[in-house]
Amino acid sequence: MKLILAGLVCLTFVTASIHAASDADVTIIKAKKVVIEKDTITIVAEAKTTITLIRDDYDPAFKGDTWHGMPVTRVQVICNNGTFTIKRHADNRLPEAWQDSLKAAKDLQDGKEVGRIGYYAPDIVIKGNMIDSITGNGFLYPKRE
């Protein structure tokens, strides 16, 4: 019984981690270049991005979209030719997810469709009202079946 309970807890943790809310989600429309290294994946692509921004009008009674109880605004930004650099977390958290990211990057190199990039606290550069680059810790998720 303890083994079953431990398995369910583990499954819940992994599922929550894989689908954790990210600060920026990038959907690749057309990849132009993919460079895979041990601890980084760099993608030059046309893409669309959803960025989560914390609003300054905190109200405990607010019923809309929140992040850790704070009101947020989600902004969608396009990119015609951006550079997306995904860094492996320094503490090597979720090593299986990083291996999945490397596999998804290889699929993208081969012209296959992949899931989104989920960034956590990235550096974002916007030029001419479009994403120029995003760099930070994150994962490239495989396409869901």
Write down the pLDDT at residue 69. Answer: 78
Q: How far apart are CA 2 and CA 18, in angstroms?
A: 24
Report helix, strand or coil for 20. Answer: coil
Give the start-to-end residue ranges of the domains of the chain.
22-140
**First CA to last CA across the chain, in angstroms?**
32
Write down the pLDDT at residue 6. Answer: 39
pTM of the model: 0.80
- Tell me: the pLDDT tens digits for 5-24? 334 333 333 333 334 578 99
- Tell me: the pLDDT tens digits for 45-62? 999 999 999 887 777 788
For residue 91, report the phi and psi dihedrals to the nearest 5 degrees: -85, 10
